[in-house]
Amino acid sequence: MSGPEELPAADVAPEEAIAFFRSKGFRIGFNWQDVFREEHARWFTVAKAMSRDLLEDIRAAVDAAIADGTTLETFRKELRPTLEAKGWWGKKLMLDPATGQHELVQLGSPRRLKTIFDTNVRTAYQAGKWQRIDRTKIAFPFLEYSSVMDGRERPEHHAWDGIILPVDHPWWDTHYGPCDWNCRCTAIQRSQRMLDRMGKKVDAAAPPANPSYQAVNKRSGEVFDLERGIGKGWDYNVGKEYLRGLAPTPLPGTFDGPDAVDAATQPSRAQQALIDRFLTIFGVAPGGEAIWYDRDGWPLSIGRGWFIAQGGAVRLPTGAAGITIDRIGAAIATPDRIAWSWVRAQDGRALLMRRYVRNQAGRATTVDIGREGWRWTVKPATA
């Protein structure tokens, strides 16, 4: 639960929270389940805000709240006149584009503004905090679940308070706060020395899962089981999803044609093994996401997103894919040369990309990485 003016603890650089929030695109949705689960790490949306200019107004107010530490009271006071002037306030009949039916729906209200404020500010700070957790996990390899123990916390979150597990433990994939609407839980970094001094120990295993309940996304028809204590649409780690969204995607050209395969949106077991093979080159746990720094200190987000195209299809080299992935990974991890290079996109645009080149066994592997995505070539080495 959450009090009327409570903000996340300021234990993360605001710049990291701001960077997360500003990295989001816009997505219009009529129902809150139209943009679901981890999609919120990549898109800014407000249910029933059906125009871009309306979303931009709300987003600007949230941005100020994160960047300037605006209180909920100020957020409401400054945003409400704008929403009222645009007719987005109170209850109104609106057409649901998915059903073709008109519904009497709640638009702006003090309660909705609180939900918008609390959800966006809290997730931004938690996403920013995860960047630091991932960046410093060698020095602080453990996390301790922390619930606000003031009698208003959920009983399941009360029971999780004090759980200590390694940063890379899969439990944090679904139990890193927020775990539900208005959840105030977080995770505290711990080193072994800190735990020894506090008389605490790392748990041998994650706690037994609570009984599950069945949840349904009424918009998509998806049915899934959730552990009690985790709200519908909250069973993901916002920080990990943010890192995954930063990973470059395969550029058209490199992965098109006879040397590539277009697969379903979920990798097969063999494809996942190849992706994990790529991750381990950078010390990233199978299925994980992490910020990795190259030889010159440039940060790269390493994760499965490297092999997921813009449309969601899995794209991996065919043939001797394992050898190719090893060459690509080695070129980035242990390059002979790193340089910034202007390259030409398929549509003719000039793109500035970071180029990694490595010569090995008579072959030169070149990997170009930029904001638009990444590509690779393997050619005979030249003198």
Query: Residue 180: what residue type?
Result: D
Please give the torsion angle defined by the CA atoms of residues 73, 76, 146 and 150, in that order, rounded to the nearest 10 degrees.
50
Average predicted confidence (pLDDT) for the chain: 89
What integer is the mean pLDDT of 115-130? 94
> Could you report the per-residue pLDDT of 139-165, keeping only the tens digit for each?
999 999 999 999 999 999 999 999 999
Please give the full DSSP string across 300-339, using - where no structure is assigned: EEESGGGGB-TTS-BEEE-SSHHHHHHHHHHHHHS-SEEE
Given a cut of 90, whether residue 30 has pLDDT beyond it is yes
CA distances from 228 to 1, 149, 155, 178 (A): 15, 18, 10, 14
What integer is the mean pLDDT of 73-87? 96
Given a cut of 70, whether residue 317 has pLDDT beyond it is yes
What does pTM read for this prediction? 0.75
Q: How many CB atoms lie within 10 A of CB 129?
A: 26
23, with CB counted inside 10 A (0-12, 13-18, 19+), is: middle
State whether residue 371 is helix, strand or coil: coil
DSSP letter, residue 82? H
pLDDT at position 383, please? 54
> Could you report the per-residue pLDDT of 345-365, keeping only the tens digit for each?
777 888 889 999 999 888 899
> Could you report the per-residue pLDDT of 262-291, keeping only the tens digit for each?
445 577 888 899 999 999 999 988 888 888
What integer is the mean pLDDT of 210-234? 94
Of all residues in the chain, what percent carry a pLDDT higher than 90?
A: 64
Q: Break the chain into its structural domains and give their ranges.
A: 14-227, 247-380
pLDDT at position 320, please? 66
Given a cut of 50, whether residue 207 has pLDDT beyond it is yes
Range of 268-282, 288-302, 311-325 with top mean pLDDT: 268-282
What integer is the mean pLDDT of 227-252? 90
Among 97-106, 236-245, 317-326, whose mean pLDDT is lowest?
317-326
> Could you report the per-residue pLDDT of 39-55, keeping only the tens digit for each?
898 899 999 999 999 99
> Could you report the per-residue pLDDT of 246-267, keeping only the tens digit for each?
889 888 776 654 444 444 557 7
Q: How far apart are CA 244 and CA 269, in angstroms?
A: 20
Nearest to 174 by CA among 232, 250, 128: 232
pLDDT at position 205, please? 94
pLDDT at position 361, please? 82
pLDDT at position 244, please? 78
